[in-house]
């Protein structure tokens, strides 16, 4: 259990720092090219390239030695939602964030990029 908590905290630390560095990179690009008409295009391409590099790095990760190769089935995953109270409580949250047309944001709280 200790290893699970350690890996969980490591994953979410990396996840949060990735968002922070993405925001910093976006701010630097928009502040330096803010007056140009194609600043958002540069931002989109840059963040797209960074995302693709991250996906390729994830694919290139080696497999873990001694890991159990048996993956849970869809039935096992579905059963977990009804047998574990914590998972059942996450269903509305996951449904809202994955299916909401605004991506789970509150209406009116979207960020707008100023420009032409």
Q: How confident is the model at residue 104 (pLDDT cuts 50, 70, 90)?
A: very low
User: What long-range pairs does 34-40 form, CB within 8 A, spacing at least 24?
Assistant: 37/115, 37/116, 39/115, 40/113, 40/115
Mean pLDDT taken over the chain:
75
What number of other Cβ atoms are within 10 A of residue 104's Cβ?
A: 13
Residue-wise pLDDT tens digits, 1-46:
566 677 778 888 888 888 888 889 999 998 998 788 888 899 999 9
72 burial level (CB within 10 Å; 0-12, 13-18, 19+): exposed
Q: Tell me how far apart the alpha carbons of residues 42 and 80 are, in angstroms, rounded to a whole number.
A: 44
pTM for the full predicted model: 0.49
């Amino acid at each position: 259990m200790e290893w699970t908590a350690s890996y969980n905290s490591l994953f979410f630390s990396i996840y949060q720092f990735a968002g922070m560095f993405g925001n910093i990179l976006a701010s630097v690009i928009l502040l330096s090219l803010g007056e140009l008409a194609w600043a958002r295009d540069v931002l989109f391409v840059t963040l797209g390239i960074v995302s693709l590099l991250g996906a390729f790095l994830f694919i290139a990760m080696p497999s873990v030695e001694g890991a159990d190769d048996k993956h849970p089935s869809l039935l096992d995953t579905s059963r977990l939602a009804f047998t574990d109270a914590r998972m059942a409580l996450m269903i509305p949250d996951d449904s809202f964030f994955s299916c909401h047309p605004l991506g789970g944001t509150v209406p009116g709280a979207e960020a707008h990029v100023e420009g032409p």
